[in-house]
């Protein structure tokens, strides 16, 4: 019985610490990519709604490494400010938008 409580406690703590994709999206992406990622950011980006998580992660990793389109300078500092966990969480959130 004791073991179960310990496991529950660990599960609760890791849930609290897990990056929250929806919060990250609201705080760091929403202003440009819009509600449900359906806008062209600054009228320049592709609409990323409908992208799968792997494509979003690859693209944002690219910005970290200085790759991207003509407006990549906008995305670079944003991409660099995301940890791998944040990026995974926010990519999962974006790919789940309907």
> Does residue number 41 form part of the binding site for ligand HEC (CB under 6 A)?
yes
Contact with ligand HEC (CB under 6 A): which of 21, 53, 59, 89? 59
> Does residue number 21 form part of the binding site for ligand HEC (CB under 6 A)?
no
CA distance 59 to 46: 11
**CB of 15: closest distance to ligand HEC in angstroms?**
22
Q: What DSSP character marks residue 48?
A: -
Count Cβ atoms below 10 Å from residue 90 Cβ, excluding itself: 26
Name the segment binding ligand HEC (CB under 6 A); options: 4-12, 13-21, 66-74.
66-74
> Does residue number 93 form part of the binding site for ligand HEC (CB under 6 A)?
no
> Does residue number 95 form part of the binding site for ligand HEC (CB under 6 A)?
no
Closest by CA position to 87, among listed 36, 25, 32? 25
Closest by CA position to 37, among listed 28, 27, 49? 49
CA distance 85 to 75: 18
Residues near ligand HEC (CB under 6 A): 28-29, 31-33, 41-42, 44-46, 48, 56, 59-60, 68-72, 74-75, 78, 82, 90
């Amino acid at each position: 019985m004791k073991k179960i409580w310990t496991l529950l406690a660990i599960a609760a703590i890791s849930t609290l610490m897990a990056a929250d994709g929806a919060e990250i999206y609201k705080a760091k992406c929403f202003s440009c990519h819009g509600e449900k990622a359906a806008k062209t950011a600054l009228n320049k980006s592709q609409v990323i709604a409908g992208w799968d998580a792997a494509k979003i992660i690859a693209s944002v990793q690219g910005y970290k490494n200085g790759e991207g389109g003509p407006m990549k300078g906008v995305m670079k500092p944003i991409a660099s400010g995301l940890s791998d966990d944040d990026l995974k969480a926010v990519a999962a959130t974006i790919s789940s938008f309907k």
